[in-house]
Amino acid sequence: MRTKRRVTQTLVSSCAAKLETGEQAMRGIGWWMGLAILMTALVGTTVETFNFEEPEWVEAMRKIHWRFSGQKGTFAQFGDSITVTMAFWAPLPYARKNAPPEMERAFKIVNSYMRPECWRWKGPEFGNDGGKTVKWALENVDNWLKRLNPEVALIMFGTNDLTHVSVDEYRAQLKALVQKCLDNGTVVILSTIPPRSGFVEKSAAFAEAARQVAAELKVPLIDYHAEILKRRPHDWDGSSEKFSGFEGYDVPTLISRDGVHPSHPTKYRDDYSEEALRCNGYSLRNYLVLLKYAEVIEKVLLANEGELRGTLKPSDLAFQNWMPKAPPLPPPKGKVIRVTSVSELFEAVEKAEPNTTILLADGHYHLPRRLEIRKDGITLRSESGNRERVILDGGKHQLGELLAVTGCSDVTIADLTVQNVRWNGIKLDTDTGVHRVTIYNCIIRNVWQRGVKGVRVPPNIPRPTGCRIQYCVFVNDRAKTFEDDPTDNPQTFNGNYIGGIDVMFARGWVISDNVFVGIQGRTREGRGAIFLWHDSRDCIVERNIIIDCDVGIALGNSWKPPDIEIHCTRIIVRNNFIVRCPESGIVADYTRDCLIAHNTIHDPTNKLGRLIRLVHDNEGLRVVNNLLSGPPIKNESSSKMVLLNNLIVPDYSHAFVDATRGNLRLTASAVDAIDKAMPLAEVKDDIDGKPRGSKPDIGAHEFR
């Protein structure tokens, strides 16, 4: 089935404009449809609608493209000598004599979308080389996909296979090659080979095989073979006697004197007139590829991009392939208890001796009350290690709190999901003496006050020390509503009492490699995805990815009780990606001697201008080597601070791999950031753990 799409063409009132619109329609969407528009215009109708069927590949390629995680605008050309030559693709930016309007329109689309370096992706390292076959491509495509990770790949092999490969073998190998690209999330444009002298019937059979593969895998097709025969049905072959007076590529037909390669006569170089498209094989190929790639950009790539914010759910953004991957935990040591039911789980936690590991079988555990760990050294983790297969759920019983650690230390909670909780997903009762808790590789989902909460600690209780929250995903499927939490109402916090991690009095904590998506209050005025306050000290917040939360990272708060002079002391915030956090990307509010360095924050339309906000007392704060794509630092503090070497660009989207999905890794276009940072002793590597050299890049990511 093909996808039906409704298109509306609005016609202006003047007769001349109507006639012009009709002419354009006849050229652009077919004679009969253009004529219909023209006739309707002449009788005075102002709006006419048509139904037409989009090619079947459009919807299929949109689905493939949703999985793509590489750099936007990358276009690889996989092929043999007909592709590696500089006569193909590379000349288009420089000259297009007599180009028809549809070609110029296509060029504008491609030139504004494609990475400029892709005009010259030539050579075997880019997937094209003379004399190569589809077998060679199959043997090397994994390396190309890993190295280039192209958004779109043009594929044309087969000319060199004609001499020794059967049609069935060619079809099978071509299909496998295309499938490898699709599995990578790369959109494929498949091309038939040109006819070849001496192999006329077999080259036609190869072309038909490519058509079959394109139809079966639902990929767009450039039928180069058919287009050549359409323009020169009887005299395409430059090796024939008719063209004996010409040499090499300088033949005024579509295949050169060798009978193999497209022609490239001097008279018609860089010419795209109708005559040139009958006489220059490379001009014809450039024309066809340009039109098809522009069509893919419009119907697939830009369509997906335009729909992305409205159609991607928070869960789509929270679980992308490029995001941090937790190294597996080692096998448990000491005593192990295995549980398969809710009752067994509560019994195991209650009766376990210190230093026991409780392994949960895969399953959905609807907890009837708060599960409380009270013994030192307890580990609670899924046996499979798959955090999606063990779900601790508080929704059925409307739990206010689901999992708690009370009066004990050295507890590990790992490889599981906590979801559907009114208040706190994992509560650390730090007022009872809780230390060195590790929360690792967990999903914390739809928790409507705090995913992880560490409470206020009385003066006589040691501060919670040495806890780690790593490789977790905090995601809410929608913004908070009054119904989610009856205590958060118009008389209290108006539906905005919500955050990801909220900890008071933290000492030496590490919060790293986590993902936060969609932590939003009812009116988008919630708390931080990461919120440290109430005399927290010597913590590290690094390599986190925060997307579409109200506040990214909050060091402190404008409110503090009388016994708290400073919220945060010697906290390091480094190497984080923060995307679209309208209240603040990073905020420092009552801090002392903290460091905010090498973070990348993207929110070009932030209305409050708070990508980094500095407010109240922040004595000794250093803000260094951060990359802001959007408004500049908002400094509302009179403290003595160092703001140094921060790159501020109104919109740096073009220099990121995929800003819309939160992937703020740099591309080669980030010339203002690459090698432009000042070395910092506190920042030795980047968001991926790559070491920073003597000339580091500004922001969280090292390009090289």
Asked if residue 111 and residue 30 are part of one domain, the reply reads no
Asked if residue 35 and residue 157 are part of one domain, the reply reads no
Task: Give Cα 464 to chain centroid, integer Å.
Answer: 36
Give 591-648 pLDDT, tens digit per residue. Answer: 999 999 999 999 998 989 999 999 999 999 999 999 999 999 999 999 999 999 999 9
Evaluate whether residue 560 is within a structural domain. Answer: yes
Asked if residue 79 and residue 11 are part of one domain, the reply reads no
Evaluate whether residue 667 is within a structural domain. Answer: yes
Asked if residue 573 and residue 641 are part of one domain, the reply reads yes
Instruction: Identify the three-state secondary structure at position 409.
Output: strand
Instruction: Identify the three-state secondary structure at position 673.
Output: coil
| Residue type at position 363 | G
Evaluate whether residue 545 is within a structural domain. Answer: no
Give 244-282 pLDDT, tens digit per residue. Answer: 999 999 999 999 999 999 999 999 999 999 999 999 999
Evaluate whether residue 111 is within a structural domain. Answer: yes
Asked if residue 697 and residue 559 are part of one domain, the reply reads yes
Tokens read off for 225: 């073979």
Asked whether 340 and 374 are in contact (CB, 8 A), the reply is no
Tokens read off for 294: 């522009």
Asked if residue 303 and residue 239 are part of one domain, the reply reads yes
| Residue type at position 572 | I
Residues 6+ apart with CB under 8 A from 496: 480, 488, 521, 522, 523, 524, 525, 526, 527, 550
Give 500-532 pLDDT, tens digit per residue. Answer: 999 999 999 999 999 999 999 999 999 999 999
19 confidence band (pLDDT: 50, 70, 90): very low
Q: What is the mean pLDDT of residues 12-22?
A: 31
Asked whether 90 and 126 are in contact (CB, 8 A), the reply is no
Asked if residue 690 and residue 585 are part of one domain, the reply reads yes
Contacts of 299-308 with C-beta under 8 Å, sequence gap 24+, read 299/54, 299/58, 300/58, 300/61, 300/62, 300/65, 300/187, 301/65, 301/72, 301/113, 301/151, 301/152, 301/187, 302/113, 303/62, 304/62, 304/65, 304/66, 305/72, 305/660, 308/660, 308/661
Asked if residue 169 and residue 117 are part of one domain, the reply reads yes
Instruction: Identify the three-state secondary structure at position 354.
Output: coil
pLDDT of residue 9: 29
Asked if residue 174 and residue 100 are part of one domain, the reply reads yes
Q: What is the mean pLDDT of residues 21-41?
A: 34
Q: What is the mean pLDDT of residues 452-471?
A: 97
Give 550-586 pLDDT, tens digit per residue. Answer: 999 999 999 999 999 999 999 999 999 999 999 999 9
Give 92-102 pLDDT, tens digit per residue. Answer: 999 999 999 99
Last residue of a domain, one of 311, 336, 365: 311
Evaluate whether residue 229 is within a structural domain. Answer: yes
Asked if residue 166 and residue 26 are part of one domain, the reply reads no
Query: ∠24-29-30 over CA atoms, to 5°?
Result: 100
Q: How far apart are CA 519 and CA 448, in angstroms?
A: 9
Number of structural domains found in the chain: 3
CATH code of residue 245: 3.40.50.1110
Evaluate whether residue 171 is within a structural domain. Answer: yes
Evaluate whether residue 68 is within a structural domain. Answer: yes
Q: Is the pLDDT of residue 52 over 50?
A: no
Q: How far apart are CA 609 and CA 635, in angstroms?
A: 10
33 confidence band (pLDDT: 50, 70, 90): very low
Tokens read off for 450: 């705090």
Residues 6+ apart with CB under 8 A from 462: 433, 435
* Domain span holding position 126: 57-311
Q: Is the pLDDT of residue 28 over 70?
A: no
Asked if residue 220 and residue 72 are part of one domain, the reply reads yes
